[in-house]
Amino acid sequence: MLNVEVTDLPYEIDNILVHNKDGFTVMSLASGSVVKSVDVKKISNDTFASKIVVGLFDETNGKLIQVKTCNIDSSNSDWEKDEIRSFDINMNVSIPQGVNPDNCNVRAFVLNGKLRPLSEKAYLGTGIDSATIWLTGDSQTCTYGENLKPETGWGEKLAEQFNNVTVNNEALGGQSSKSFYDQGRLQKILANSKPGDYLFVMFGLNDDKPEEYRRAEANTTYKEYLRKFVNEAREYGMIPVLLTSGERYTAFKDEFTVESTTGDYPEATRAVAKELNVPLVDVHSRVIANMRRLGKTEYQKYYMVFEAGLYPNYPNGSGDRSHYREEGAELIASFVMDGIKEINLPLASLAK
């Protein structure tokens, strides 16, 4: 059965057109079917940008199997009341093995801004063939210019772990959870996201800084800001994922003795993930274990710690013990992928 969901916006869904694999219009679903288009009716004289969201649901458990979106441009000023316009969707239906097609349903929504009719849990279904990840974070995650290479953020290397995944790296050096949020950087991501996108949240290295605009105490303010990231992402239909931070090279006290430099922040991240039932990728635990296994001498190659003459951008060498070389960024990106697989996020199905 194909249901139509209507909102109180100036637009409403009038019809959903589905074809079978032979191109004929049908009223039932099977793998190989195509959701061709959605007809939208203008029901008031108001005009503003909105989204059409089309989802394939398994009605036995409420999980969303697939989703596709289409924008209604606010420039449609010539769209008159009661006029119906068609929007191409072309979503190829793929029903996972073991799911009864008779229990599947296509629903369409018209939404403005925040996605409220669909819950975050619905998006944790199976059957994704592509995805978009938005990264938040600091200088261990962000993108660096060629004039700073070999300094590399792990976010630059994450896309290499996947097939058909777009990674938008919005991390910025020096940021804490507080400064990133207060400066409107999360809102920028939300405004440009689409339902079903992933929001990766990794902070904790700068949250203990003394500056008021950055400081967020681990067990109070930091947790409050993580909750803001999670709850606001969910309001927009995104899938939030919390990540514990990496480490600094200064964590080595001798060749194989490692003491974390990140205080209570990793544990605070774990606590919020548990509290809000958010997927958690525990990077920090993996980093600490790997440091202790390899030792200080071997681990140096991952950080910006090297003698003069190795890299053109650093003729005098570097003693930066906080940031990664390319090899270190690749290592952390691999740890992120390991965590994704461990918690069985749908993204794992797109791993190389």
Cβ atoms 2, 15 nearer than 8 A: no
Q: What is the CATH number of domain 11-121?
A: 2.60.40
pLDDT digits (tens, 9 = 90+) for 259-276: 999 999 999 999 999 999
**Residues 37/17, Cβ–Cβ less than 8 Å:** yes
Give which of 166, 163, 158, 230 is closest to 197, Cα–Cα. Answer: 166
Going from N- to C-terminal start, the domains of the chain cover: 11-121, 131-350
Specify the pLDDT at position 4.
42
Dump pLDDT digits (tens) for 49-74: 677 888 888 777 767 788 788 887 76
| pLDDT per residue as tens digits for the range 190-218 | 999 987 899 999 999 999 999 999 999 99
Q: What is the CATH T-level fold of the domain 131-350, as seen in this structure?
A: Rossmann fold (3.40.50)
Q: In percent, how much of the chain has pLDDT > 70?
A: 89
Residue 40 has pLDDT above 70, yes or no: yes
The runs of H, that is alpha helices, within the chain are: 177-182, 185-192, 221-235, 265-276, 283-294, 296-299, 326-342
Counting DSSP H helices and E strands in the chain, the numbers are 7, 13
Catalytic residues: 139, 307, 323
Provide CB contacts within 8 A for 180, sequence distance 6+.
136, 137, 172, 186, 203
The Cα-based distances of 273 to 77, 269, 290 in angstroms read 44, 6, 23
**In this predicted model, what pLDDT tens digit does every residue of 221-246 receive, in sequence order?**
999 999 999 999 988 878 899 999 99
Q: Do the domains at 11-121 and 131-350 have one common CATH topology?
A: no
Please state, in angstroms and rounded to a whole number, the distance separating the CA atoms of residues 164 and 166: 7
- Rounded to the nearest integer, the mean pLDDT of the chain is 87
Distance CA 245, CA 156 (A): 16
